[in-house]
Amino acid sequence: MFGFSDKGNLNLITQALAAVGCKIDVIPDPTTVHFHLPDDLSVQVHREYSDFVAEIVHKFPHEKEGILNFYGECWKIFNSLNSLELKSLEEPIYLFGQFFKKPIECLTLAYYLPQNAGDIARKFIKDPQLLSFIDAECFIVSTVNALQTPMINASMVLCDRHFGGINYPVGGVGEIAKSLAKGLVKKGSEILYKANVTNIIVNNGKAVGVKLSDGRKFYARTIISNATRWDTFGKLLEKKNLPKEEENFQKAYVKAPSFLSIHVGIKAEILPPDTDCHHFVLEDDWKNLENSYGSIFLSIPTVLDSSLAPEGRHILHIFTTSSIEDWEGLSRKDYEAKKELVADKIITRLEKKLFPGLKSAIVFKEVGTPKTHRRYLARDSGTYGPMPRNTPKGLLGMPFNTTGIDGLYCVGDSCFPGQGVIAVAFSGVMCAHRVGADLGLERKSPVLDAALLRLLGWLRTLA
């Protein structure tokens, strides 16, 4: 997990937990990911930046300077972000304050805001295989290649993995939600579970409440939707309420595909003793990187925390991109049969590439499809989040938290800065600040607010 370190400003999970009086023990992951790529290119992304650079320079000695320059640009962005107090970029008093304190850092971020990682990589690197490796580096974050991945997003993850490092919460990632919930309740909040919002209630153009599937209604001064923007504006609000800004967003971004997820329990002896926790597999052809089922992600959390499985067993979470269209219109029987068939093919590929004997070592298996993502996360088409329709101008086109509907805010991965736990935590912090200002809990200037929101809206039209 990103965001779990004890230093810097980007450790937003640590900060969120601390805000409600909680702390989770973590296990440092020595290798963020182990890439297994075409032409037998194998790269381990070590926790120590110098070890990672040494490994990649060893593989591409003729590109040493380009490698140092590209990742060096990432560090410039990361260091700028990491030096700022992260709050709402839609709040002008805060923005001016930060600009006054850290002008160079703010200008650095503004310079990179409309740029993509692939273009910057091409300034320094010529080797096509190395550029494809950088595509894979970006793909595992954004599910698109480097030319479509905003440089700011790429830099956040390509550097934080070395700065704060990847840290695994003891007891599994579910502990984060459990701890946050416990802390929030202790601080006086109330959390309703199994509360399915079916409508956002709008009165005279202002969002004033929500209606649940069981008919209950709740009213509030502020409504914050953590559903995707497609769900918020396509399902929870009536279509006639679609603001112009959302129309523009839906023109610039499409829904990224979902995933096929295979959870298996295996006999531990099948894994070599030094197996890493995270793997990314693309066997033969770089062209398959972005294709459905083209590449395989694998996490083995029990490598880090053996308490998650019975003694002598490991857990594997295997996943690959998959679209909901592939799974619709099937009878129950055909759907189940297809799950088995597709999962079997993926497991066979892993067996061939990484772990001989994997199939016969499986003691438990469960397969989830894009429909599973849609059902349990209430995400339209089970989408992973927004994906630029064309080449984006970096992050310029991504909406922040305010919406065209008074009183309604959006948060999560279809807001700036996008997908990934660290990014959505940032979006949450930004939203809390903007809402705090609108509720009078933080300083606010209505005149400056209106000017900034107009400016940001105009900038988005340029993306």
Ligand X SMILES: Cc1cc2nc3c(=O)[nH]c(=O)nc-3n(C[C@H](O)[C@H](O)[C@H](O)COP(=O)(O)OP(=O)(O)OC[C@H]3O[C@@H](n4cnc5c(N)ncnc54)[C@H](O)[C@@H]3O)c2cc1C
| Tokens 């469960």 found at | 366
Q: Is the peptide bond before 388 cis (omega within 30 degrees of 0)?
A: no
d(CA 447, CA 92): 10
Contact with ligand X (CB under 6 A) among 421, 448, 456, 459: 421
Cβ(263)–Cβ(316) below 8 Å: yes
Shortest Cβ 385–ligand X spacing (Å) = 6
What is the rounded distance in angstroms from the CA atom of residue 24 to the CA atom of residue 170? 7
> Per CB under 6 A, does 420 bind ligand X?
yes
Residue 88 found at the interface with ligand X (CB under 6 A): no
Site stretch for ligand X (CB under 6 A), options 13-21, 122-130, 216-224, 374-382: 374-382
* Closest CB to ligand X among residues 309, 421: 421
Closer residue to ligand X in complex, CB, 196/204: 196
Regarding 259 and contact with ligand X (CB under 6 A), the answer is yes
Nearest residue (CB) to ligand X, 92 versus 169 = 169
Supply the minimum distance, in Å, between the C-beta of residue 287 and ligand X. 23
Tokens of 267: 């006999």
CA neighbor of 433 nearest in space, from 462, 387, 397, 401:
401
Do the Cβ atoms of 12 and 422 come closer than 8 Å?
yes
The helix-helix angle for 64-83 and 151-160 (nearest 10°) equals 90
Minimal distance in Å, beta carbon 384 to ligand X? 6
The β-bridge partners of 352 are: none
Taking residues 134 to 173 in sequence order and writing x for each that binds ligand X by CB under 6 A, - otherwise, the string is: ----------------------------------------
Work out whether 378 is an interface residue with ligand X (CB under 6 A).
Answer: yes
Among 419, 426, 433, 460, binds ligand X (CB under 6 A): 419
Q: CA-based angle 55:160:435, to the nearest 5?
A: 160
Task: Give Dmax over CA atoms of the chain in angstroms.
Answer: 67
Q: Which range in 15-23, 79-87, 104-112, 371-379 contacts ligand X by CB under 6 A?
A: 371-379
Site string for ligand X, 225-244 (x = CB under 6 A): -xx---x-------------
**Residue 391 contacts by C-beta under 8 Å, 6 or more apart in sequence?**
116, 147, 148
DSSP string, 308-351: GS-TTEEEEEEEEEE-GGGGTT--HHHHHHHHHHHHHHHHHHHH
Structure tokens at 100: 């006054």
Site for ligand X in 280-339 (CB under 6 A): 319
Q: Count the site residues for ligand X by CB under 6 A.
A: 21
Pick 261 or 381: Cβ nearer ligand X? 261
User: What's the closest the beta carbon of residue 200 comes to ligand X, in angstroms?
Assistant: 9
Of 24-83, binders to ligand X (CB under 6 A) are: none
Q: Are strands 31-37 and 278-281 parallel, antiparallel or unpaired?
A: parallel
Q: Which residues, 384 to 413, sit near ligand X by CB under 6 A?
A: 384-385, 412-413
- The yes or no reply on residue 193 touching ligand X (CB under 6 A) is no
- Between residues 19 and 378, which has the closer beta carbon with respect to ligand X? 378
Closer residue to ligand X, CB minimum distance, 114 or 412: 412
Q: In what order do the strands lie in the sheet with 41-46?
A: 41-46, 31-37, 278-281, 296-299, 313-322, 258-267, 362-368
Would you count residue 201 as binding ligand X (CB under 6 A)? no
Nearer to ligand X by C-beta: 46 or 278? 278
386 DSSP β-pair partners? 255
Judged by the rule CB under 6 A, the positions of this chain that interact with ligand X are 2, 196-197, 226-227, 231, 259, 261, 319, 377-379, 384-385, 412-413, 419-422, 424
